[in-house]
Structure 1
Amino acid sequence: MTRSRGFTLLEVLVALAILAVVLSAGFRAVGLATGSANDLRERLIADWVAQDRLAEHRAMGRFLEPGVNEGSVTQAGREFRWREEVKATPNALFRRIDIKVSLAGEGDHALSQLSGFLVRPLR
């Protein structure tokens, strides 16, 4: 009597169950990585918005009065809200500006925060 070689039905089912668990874990990891990449992209663009605001004030030679300014801008097809808080400093020639950027319509969760200084232009 010859014995046939091969896998039993139980062995095949166990192998398929292990494969299903491994593949589902792999798909979950890919999904999380994709979500992280999108979050990172939004934070990077929010950083650019904050840096643009500060660079614009400096380039225009603006010396803002203490207070709060808000607005929005569209970058990379997304609308971002910015909020600037201008504060006086002990030196009257400088102003501190704190800029927070968030996605429009998603509350006050700041994706980016930037602090800088504005200098009173010489006249």
Structure 2
Amino acid sequence: MTAQRGFTLIEVLVALLVFGLIATAAAQVGGQYISSYERIRDKTLAGWVADNRISEIRLQENLPEISERSDDIEYGPYRWRVTTAVQATADPLLRRVEVTVAKFRGNEAEPAPVHTLYAFIGDS
């Protein structure tokens, strides 16, 4: 009689189990990487939007009026809601500006906040 060579069913099942565990771990790491990338991308774009809004206010000739307003804008391939709140300070020639940037996701009616930037703008 000749001895047959090959893997037993148990050995094949163990190999499939090991491969499945490795594949599951790799998928989780890949998913975390993509999620982290999207979060960083959104924070970066929202930071730029907020910086642009602060720069627009600083370039105005007059001190901004105390107010709050929201604008929906397109920046990059995304829609954003930029909320600008100008608040008084103890110094009448100084304003506190808070810019909150929120991103619209999919078909949601309300955007999710991503970034808030604060600045003080004075009349020189």
In the alignment, does 2:46 pair up with 1:50?
no
Cα offset, 1:40, TM superposition: 1.4
Q: Is the 8 A contact 2:103 2:114 kept in 1?
A: yes
TM-score (normalised: structure 2): 0.85
Cα offset, 1:9, TM superposition: 2.1
| 1:62-101 to 2 correspondences below 5 Å | 62-101=62-101
Identity %: 29
In the alignment, does 2:91 pair up with 1:112?
no
1:17: which partner in 2? 17
Cα offset, 1:69, TM superposition: 1.5
Q: Is the 8 A contact 1:62 1:118 kept in 2?
A: no
Q: Is the 8 A contact 1:66 1:87 kept in 2?
A: yes
Q: Is the 8 A contact 2:82 2:101 kept in 1?
A: yes
Q: Secondary structure at the match of 2:113?
A: coil
Distance 1:38 1:89 in 2: 36
Cα offset, 1:25, TM superposition: 1.8
User: What amino acid does structure 2 have at the position aligned with 1:83?
Assistant: T
Distance 1:50 1:76 in 2: 14
Cα offset, 1:106, TM superposition: 5.7
TM-score (normalised: structure 1): 0.86
Distance 2:35 2:119 in 1: 31
Cα offset, 1:8, TM superposition: 2.0
Write out per-residue CA displacement over residues 71-114 of structure 1, whole angstroms, 9 at most, x where no aligned residue.
12211111110111111111111100011000134635320000
Q: Number of paired residues?
A: 121
Residues 34-43 or 102-111, more deviating: 102-111
- Give the alignment's Cα RMSD to 1 decimal: 1.9
Q: Is the 8 A contact 2:101 2:114 kept in 1?
A: yes
Distance 1:120 1:89 in 2: 12
Q: Structure 2: 5+ residue runs without aligned partners?
A: none
Q: Structure 1: 5+ residue runs without aligned partners?
A: none
